Chains A and B, each alone.
Chain A
């Protein structure tokens, strides 16, 4: 009878909770991303507009300074829904550019180099993989979108007083919701396209294409058919329609708010379907 000495011992130390394991991907990716000087510079540039807005808010409440500048406080544009809507448009555009810069390199290289089997042969699920990769974008985009947006709201609340903050609490909700919608859509599109073409350059071109060519083709549809159906594939216009509604501004958009929400829902669904099809541990070569 063979007798074996039982020397094997399983790892008994603490493990990362499965719920937060996806953060591991984000941590390592940030370390890699922030090596790029261009990205750091771009992030700094993204803060210019919020900084300008903060200065504007401060100025519009500084009566002595306005008097010194011979400006009436009433002459300054109000800090209202429209102000924050414009903020969303500007920072939303920058968020799109940042997605184009960062998004393509998240999934495509893993798929192209056969790394999926390495990830998924560990106690790490496909959902955790997608969540981890998506978190990278979500956090990065949050830094330039809703976080400074909320800071602006708080500055305005601080300057205008508690009453203003109470009456305009909905603005804070609109900023967070409006920009979260946008960054979720951007992240999903970036991941899905990156997974679909498995090549970061093509993915980058595709992300640019989906938005620019989508908008262009939308206009072509409107021109040729003399309808407004083209607005359905212009994602920028779709989200602007939702922002206008959230910030209670009148909109001259070609589609209703319900239609806009539907388009975003369908887009997210398509992206999730693509991700579910592409993020797999194996690939069959025919």
Chain B
């Protein structure tokens, strides 16, 4: 097994009778991997399992070849910013980072240097001396991020890391993730803010109700979904004619004329065949001004997958 992967092999976790995650098999290479799903989908459970904070009811997990039970080895490599919004009482931001760095075995001077560096990195230098209990929500989010980054880990696991951050810090944080990813590290983030995930992820894992419903690059996830109707927006001068021609094809399920008469929104089950048809229609004289996939983002894929599941459930 390659040692630069985070792998979950048929992992299940139950909280009593409540399902956390079920039969999850994943392999995450270096780069940014996003866990996406609504509340209760199992994103945090996956992260807690990977970091050994909870144990799987069944299945096997490896992080760069290490078992999460070997926490004394694992956390030399892994930094985890949890979603728990609580901190040890009475500590300032600096004391919080510094004190926990001491547990890594660094010298006093090194801990101070690393703490100052990471606090500056997350933009909290001015508030470093203040008690964490008095921080705003965004500041608490940043100090949690700092705690995960402080020891410069190879694997960064962040539960909803962009929650509560202002746009500027959000952009800086995303840049930081990208930098980590380009250095060949793992960045595993969870989010339900889909457009952000869409922008930053190398790989997405879509989750719902404790199950992984899709995984891979966004485009490949999409192409894997054979049955999913795809919406394509075509701007042309004869939308009615185009719609009628399209309806002759069995893979086209819907054609919707735009109100201003400038085009048509086609829903098809086979995008490739439809694109070939478009070429043919263009050659036959229909003036096509532009073709745009209307829903090629994670949001629509996600809506489709989750919506489909909901429809299936009684």
Contact = CB atoms under 8 A, between A and B. Distances in A.
Contacts of B225: none
A286 B131 CA distance: 8
B293 interface: no
B307 interface: no
A286 B133 CA distance: 9
5 contacts: A285-B131, A285-B133, A285-B134, A286-B131, A286-B134
Contacts of A285: 131, 133-134
A248 B133 CA distance: 56
* B interface majority secondary structure: helix
Contacts, number: 5
Closest 4 A-B residue pairs measured CB to CB? A285-B133, A285-B134, A285-B131, A286-B131
Size bin of chain A's contact surface: under 10
Interface string B133-155: 11000000000000000000000
Contacts of B134: 285-286
B260 to A, nearest CB: 29
Interface in B62-88: none
Nearest to A283: B133
A190 B8 CA distance: 48
A286 B134 CA distance: 7
A9 B131 CA distance: 45
Interface in B122-138: 131, 133-134
Contacts of A286: 131, 134
A286 B132 CA distance: 10
Nearest to A113: B86
B8 to A, nearest CB: 33
A86 B295 CA distance: 79
A285 B133 CA distance: 7
Contacts of B133: 285
Interface in B213-260: none
Interface string A250-286: 0000000000000000000000000000000000011
Contacts of B131: 285-286
A273 to B, nearest CB: 25
A285 B131 CA distance: 8
A285 B136 CA distance: 12
B262 to A, nearest CB: 33
A62 B133 CA distance: 69
A114 to B, nearest CB: 11
